[in-house]
Structure 1
Amino acid sequence: MSVSRKTVLIILAFFAIYIIWGSTYMLNKIAVSQLPPFFLASVRFIIASIIIFIIAKSLKVSLSVTKKQLTNCTIAGFLFLTLGNGLAVLALKYIDSGFAALEISAQPLVVLIMMRLLHGKRIALMSYIGVVLGFIGIFLLVSQKQIITQEGQILGMILIFVCMLSWAYASIFAGRADLPKNHFVNTGYQMLTGGIMLGIISLLLNESWSLPNSWQTDVKWSMLGLIIFGSIIAFTAFNYLLKEVSPEKVATSTYVNPIIALILGWWVLNEHISLQSIIAAVVLLTGVYFINTKRVLKPRPIGR
């Protein structure tokens, strides 16, 4: 492969993890306006897992896993997708997509604190500064009167916080668990098991299931974007970048995604961006930068 072609691929891959991952908040917001949240997430991940398995087989990748690996994939799928993504989509019924993305950008802060509490991991000085800035940013974000006085906003914020706890614990678990070495196989089984559990919850909650021919056009396009671009293309780009560039550069999506989500929410969905939200974003993302300075937290494609 020539250098010029490789450079183009790297640029396209960064575009994928910056723009596509940042747009998933908007796409989920559009889709959940008509579809029940757990049904939506279940359909997305089950279909995406099937496509991933087809791609893996076409590349002659073995789909065989041990019983232990399948169990761990199921646990990770539950934490990342069933609990994490499912509740995030539910939260979008109550809060703006840009607001959700900003709150979720504090995930490295939650991971750092959880690792300290569960494993006694020492926190570096720069990370302490990041923790303080992170808490200030979150306070500025969630304390806005025009937000907390709106119906359902507090519930939405709590749901996002539970998602962050789930993703944080899942990130720690996945880093230590015996999982399939191949990224396609690992993600495929997590999406399949997580999607099935989402479907079971949807049935237990008596959500209304429907066929795509009854969906509105914008919902169809949103679902297609979530499956093809959000779950497959961006994930492939993510793994390609991990092999071609440093993890620190890949982790920059942590800062870019919420900004993209804010802009798309404002431009496409007419979501309001207050000055306090902008200030909170700057403070919060600066805190995340300080946390990532000493300890690189790779962005997780699973929960997107």
Structure 2
Amino acid sequence: MLVGGALLALYLIWGSTYLGTKVALTAWPPFLLSATRYLLAGGVQYGVMRLSGAAAPSKQDWLRAAVVGFCLPLFGNGGTTFSQQFIPSGLAALMVATVPMFLAVLGWVSGITPKPTAKVLIGLTLGLGGMYLLASTRVAAPVLIPGYQTLGIAAVLLAAFMWSVGSLYSKKKPIGGSPFLGVGMQMLCGGFFLLIAGLLHGEADKFHVTGIGLKPWLAFAYLVSMGSWVAFSAYIWLIRVTEPALAGTYAFVNPVVAVLLGWAFAGEALNAQMAGGAALIVVAVMLVVLGGRRSSAPQPAPAGERQLGDIQD
């Protein structure tokens, strides 16, 4: 039940944050947008968890949080946000659909996860097919900085790769104690790295708080509250308790959500080929979900060990 709810949050919320990011980018430079988002979200979450009685993290926990913050918020979110200056938000969502493939292959090669089952491999293949159908029919949309599509695609693919690396590291080297305290630490570290990136990118001179309109502020609030507090926390928890390929299925569903939002709010066409791509993606997610659960079921632990594992998770 909890796993299903967390997956649903990722599917719907992160699918809509592409549109929110595009709106926010009309007023915020990319790295400072992500930096402010994660510093605010992480600072509040860390403070609330510490005030509620969570134990102080160790130096090793902060080091692990820094590694995840470097891979996920800095490269993963920062790279994707940066790319949306040059490519449509829907295309960015489609490119991020490479995450489940990176997770499955890198997890297997590194020995963190078992070899993908036949169902998972078929699901990943169908997901790629659905992604291709969506990409091949999507009408080009205006971008903030035209003429640099190759740079945008390269940035988002690097972001997907680093996101996968950080996710697998988070699974293998989890932060001790409350996972929600750990999420706050990871967001704080990532926000710090993003702030440095923004300053090195010269964004401070281009950014003026007084020039931000209502829509960008609303988009920013949505990114902080739903994109970071709810969805990012759900993702880190899922990485700890499920197979990475299962947690990564959000990347297949997000393009479907992006296409539907474009159809509902931006007047974009929704034809039979796009509907077919969405259907393939839904089937792909089902196969990865079933395959992932099947692979982890054969070796049940004794009742006492299961309870101890539940507490530790």
TM-score by length of 2: 0.76
> Would you say 1:199 and 2:189 are equivalent positions?
no
Q: Distance in 1 between matches of 2:126 and 2:257?
A: 21
Q: Distance in 1 between matches of 2:251 and 2:137?
A: 23
Which residue, 160, 171, 183 being the options, matches 2:167? 171
Work out whether residues 109 and 288 of structure 1, in 8 Å CA contact, stay in contact via their aligned partners in 2. no
Q: Distance in 1 between matches of 2:252 and 2:110?
A: 26
Distance change (3 Å), C-alpha of 1:273 and 1:114? farther
Residue 222 of structure 1 is matched in structure 2 by 219
Work out whether residues 42 and 184 of structure 2, in 8 Å CA contact, stay in contact via their aligned partners in 1. yes
Q: What is the Cα deviation at residue 158 of structure 1?
A: 2.5
Q: Distance in 2 between matches of 1:205 and 1:250?
A: 32
Work out whether residues 52 and 232 of structure 1, in 8 Å CA contact, stay in contact via their aligned partners in 2. yes
Structure 1 counterpart SS, 2:53: coil
Residue 280 of structure 2 is matched in structure 1 by 283
Residue 20 of structure 1 is matched in structure 2 by 13
Work out whether residues 27 and 211 of structure 2, in 8 Å CA contact, stay in contact via their aligned partners in 1. no
Q: Distance in 2 between matches of 1:276 and 1:152?
A: 28
Q: What is the Cα deviation at residue 197 of structure 1?
A: 0.5
Distance change (3 Å), C-alpha of 1:79 and 1:237? closer
Q: Distance in 1 between matches of 2:8 and 2:124?
A: 29
Residue 212 of structure 1 is matched in structure 2 by 209
Deviations 1:90-118 (A, max 9, x none): 11122222332233234222211222333
Amino acid across the alignment from 1:228? S
Q: Distance in 1 between matches of 2:201 and 2:131?
A: 31
Structure 2 counterpart SS, 1:180: coil
Work out whether residues 99 and 248 of structure 2, in 8 Å CA contact, stay in contact via their aligned partners in 1. no
Work out whether residues 106 and 134 of structure 1, in 8 Å CA contact, stay in contact via their aligned partners in 2. no
Alignment length (residue pairs):
287
Work out whether residues 29 and 207 of structure 2, in 8 Å CA contact, stay in contact via their aligned partners in 1. no
Work out whether residues 108 and 291 of structure 1, in 8 Å CA contact, stay in contact via their aligned partners in 2. no
Distance change (3 Å), C-alpha of 1:235 and 1:146? closer
Which residue, 123, 129, 132 being the options, matches 2:122? 129
Q: What is the Cα deviation at residue 128 of structure 1?
A: 2.4
State the identity %: 27
Q: Distance in 2 between matches of 1:290 and 1:164?
A: 22
> Would you say 1:54 and 2:47 are equivalent positions?
yes
Residue 152 of structure 2 is matched in structure 1 by 156
- Unpaired runs of 5+ in structure 2? 296-313
Work out whether residues 127 and 290 of structure 1, in 8 Å CA contact, stay in contact via their aligned partners in 2. yes
Which residue, 256, 259, 262 being the options, matches 1:262? 259
Distance change (3 Å), C-alpha of 1:138 and 1:159? farther
Deviations 1:32-78 (A, max 9, x none): 1221110100010001111112321342223x111111111100011
Map residues 61-210 of structure 1 onto 2, 5 A cutoff: 61-62=54-55, 64-119=56-111, 121-143=114-136, 147=140, 151-207=147-203, 208=205, 210=207
Q: What is the Cα deviation at residue 187 of structure 1?
A: 0.7
Structure 2 counterpart SS, 1:295: helix
Q: Distance in 2 between matches of 1:222 and 1:252?
A: 24
Q: What is the Cα deviation at residue 268 of structure 1?
A: 3.2
* Range moving further from structure 2, 175-184 or 214-223: 175-184
Work out whether residues 37 and 223 of structure 2, in 8 Å CA contact, stay in contact via their aligned partners in 1. yes
Which residue, 26, 32, 50 being the options, matches 1:33? 26
Q: What is the root-mean-square deviation of aligned Cα atoms in Å? A: 3.8
